[in-house]
Copies of this chain bind each other. A is one copy, B any other.
Amino acid sequence: MTDTLCPVARTVDRVGDAWSLMILRDAFHGLTRFDQFQKSLGVAPNILTRRLAKLVEAGMLERRRYNARPPRDEYVLTAQGRDFWPVLVAMMAYGNRHFAREGVASQLVDAQTGAPAEPVLADAATGRRLDPAAFKFAAGPAADPAVLARMAFADARRV
């Protein structure tokens, strides 16, 4: 991709494929073992091996030996992996709003009360709701000429 400084592109580059995203979803559901992921996803073993290695390399999963003889490893979310939670929750909310033709099958709820939450984006510092009317994409300090040109274009096309 041409603008490799883009933080969206960098995230997509590491986890932006269907299997990686589904492995991360499963990891948040508590799955850790190769055979658990394989059974859950119906994915070919060689593909699962590659995706797990890629997620380990990206710093999102950690490989841990849980049995010495025979040697067996499990894959556990790192702190950086657990920080991906908001992306999956945003995808879940999106799926529930637009693709849940039978109704809501799974959702985010208050762990104490069981009350369903409606996930939206807010600014951590102010608590203000984030929306495309009041907020926009802009270049940051590390922007190069390509990012600056892209952000100027986006700014001019904002409606």
Contact = CB atoms under 8 A, between A and B. Distances in A.
Interface of A: 1-3, 5-14, 16-18, 21-22, 25, 28-30, 39-42, 59, 80, 82-100, 102-112, 114, 116-125, 127-144, 147, 150-151, 153-154, 156-158
B124 A1 contact: no
A94 B11 contact: yes
A87 to B, nearest CB: 4
Contact of A16 (B2, B17, B104): B17
Contacts of A137: 28-29, 92, 106-109
A58 to B, nearest CB: 8
B119 A121 contact: yes
In terms of DSSP, what is the predominant structure of the interface of chain A? mixed
A111 B136 contact: yes
Nearest to A14: B99
Nearest to A124: B118
Nearest to A7: B95
A117 to B, nearest CB: 4
A42 B2 contact: yes
Given A91-B87, A100-B142, A118-B123, A9 B29 contact: no
Contact of A135 (B110, B124, B150): B110
Contacts of A97: 83
